[in-house]
Amino acid sequence: MPSTDTKNAAATAMHLAEYLDAAALKQVPTRNGFGEGLIEAGNRNKNVLAICADLAESTRMEGFKNAHPDQYIEIGVAEQMLVAMAGGLASTGKIPWIASYAMFNPGRSWEQVRTIMALNETNVKIAGAHAGVSVGPDGATHQAIEDIAIMRVIPHMLVCVPCDSIQTKKATIALSEKFGPTYLRFAREKSAVITTDETPFEFGKAQIFRDGGDVAIVACGILVYNALVAADELAREDGIECRVVNNHTIKPMDEPAIVAAARDCGAVVTVEEHQVHAGMGSRVAEILAETHPVPMQFVGVHDRFGQSGDPSELIEYYGMGVSAIKEAVRKVHRRKAGA
């Protein structure tokens, strides 16, 4: 049975009819939530710093720069030095957030992230902006769809992928108060706001946003919305009732919630705006392989690079839209039934 926390999360998420009506939903970039959360974290603790690689407006560090000018540092386009400087400041008791596009930090600075941040267990926080193919026209060189994989494999690293702007704000504040090397991943494009200020958030605790017993859809990031829409359409069209799990914490993942979803539903579909190889879904599979194996399908990018295009069209093209999620659920449901 769902825990009290997950029941409360489902109850305080947007009402089903509201999140299915896309026109009625607020559309806000998750990066805005990071900017708002960072300002609040700086209000609460003057040791919180923001260090940016010449992308203050894009990463939404600009608001922090204006609110807390004495706690802001602009380093320019030097991502490796961004990590090195933050590591030194963290060793003095500061809590530095460092920001760039995810493709460049952690992408370009991975060795420094591994050695300075993680090996030395420094309290540095990476804000990986513009992640996923939904960055759109910037194209393959700027579309980080391997970043969850390269970060979750590093010892000591915390990894979080919130579902909307409100949850990104909460995650930023929570992670500012939690010690350890951290990666927070978020996007540029506007996306559906599906939680409220009252929706609980606890790092490390997955949330059930829709209950069901036929198939569990375990999703993260902005694609949690697509998972919710797909689940409702499947219920109406096929009578398949899906549990939708907002699996915002990739590392350390909420293993009890994952195992419970597999045990209760008997089949799992993972959904992420990332390569299916070594991403969030791979971690779900690792957990279930050791504890409760069930039929699985993986929705995400399948061993391809991105390309320039409209964000919504790219989500569909790379098989991460509502129709792709529905097909994955139908397929795994047939496997579960032995068809």
Which of 192, 222, 249 is the last residue in one of the domains?
Answer: 192
Q: Are residues 132 and 246 in the same domain?
A: no
Which of 135, 170, 192 is the last residue in one of the domains?
Answer: 192
Which of 168, 192, 216 is the last residue in one of the domains?
Answer: 192
Q: Are residues 331 and 214 in the same domain?
A: yes
Q: Are residues 110 and 138 in the same domain?
A: yes
Q: Range of 79's domain?
A: 27-192
What does pTM read for this prediction?
A: 0.94
Q: Are residues 170 and 270 in the same domain?
A: no
Q: Are residues 21 and 97 in the same domain?
A: no
Q: Are residues 39 and 181 in the same domain?
A: yes
Q: Is the peptide bond before 181 cis (omega within 30 degrees of 0)?
A: no
Cβ atoms of 194 and 168 within 8 Å: the answer is no
Q: Are residues 238 and 175 in the same domain?
A: no
φ, ψ at 239 (rounded to 5°): 70, 15
pLDDT of res. 10: 47
The average pLDDT across 62-82 equals 97
Q: Are residues 16 and 75 in the same domain?
A: no
Residue among 262, 244, 207 nearest 6 (CA): 207
Number of domains the chain is built from: 2
- Which tokens sit at 324? 């792709």
Q: In what helix (H) or strand (E) does residue 223 lie, and over which residues does it extend?
A: helix 223-238
pLDDT in tens, 114-144: 999 999 999 999 999 999 999 999 999 999 9
**For the domain that residue 172 is a member of, what is the CATH number?**
3.40.50.970
Q: Are residues 172 and 136 in the same domain?
A: yes
Q: Are residues 170 and 42 in the same domain?
A: yes
How many other β-carbons are positioned within 10 Å of the β-carbon of residue 236?
Answer: 8
Q: Are residues 54 and 152 in the same domain?
A: yes
pLDDT in tens, 262-314: 999 999 999 999 999 999 999 999 999 999 999 999 999 999 999 999 999 99
The average pLDDT across 10-29 equals 64
Residue among 172, 161, 248, 244 nearest 204 (CA): 248
Q: Are residues 70 and 208 in the same domain?
A: no
